[in-house]
Chains A and B, each alone.
Chain A
Amino acid sequence: GQNIDQPTEMTATEGAIVQINCTYQTSGFNGLFWYQQHAGEAPTFLSYNVLDGLEEKGRFSSFLSRSKGYSYLLLKELQMKDSASYLCAVRGPGNTPLVFGKGTRLSVIA
Chain B
Amino acid sequence: DVKVTQSSRYLVKRTGEKVFLECVQDMDHENMFWYRQDPGLGLRLIYFSYDVKMKEKGDIPEGYSVSREKKERFSLILESASTNQTSMYLCASSLPISGGQETQYFGPGTRLLVL
Contacts and interface: CB of A to CB of B under 8 A. Distances in A.
Interface stretch (A16-24, A58-66, A72-80, A92-100): A92-100
Nearest to B9: A40
B33 A97 contact: yes
Interface residues of B, number: 24
Contact of A98 (B4, B90, B104): B104
A30 B99 contact: yes
A95 B101 contact: no
Given A48-B103, A87-B42, A97-B45, A41 B108 contact: yes
B42 A97 contact: no
Nearest to B41: A102
A42 B9 CA distance: 11
Interface of B: 4, 33, 40-43, 45, 48, 50, 58, 90, 96, 98-109
Interface of A: 30-31, 33, 40-45, 48, 50, 87, 91, 95, 97-98, 100-103
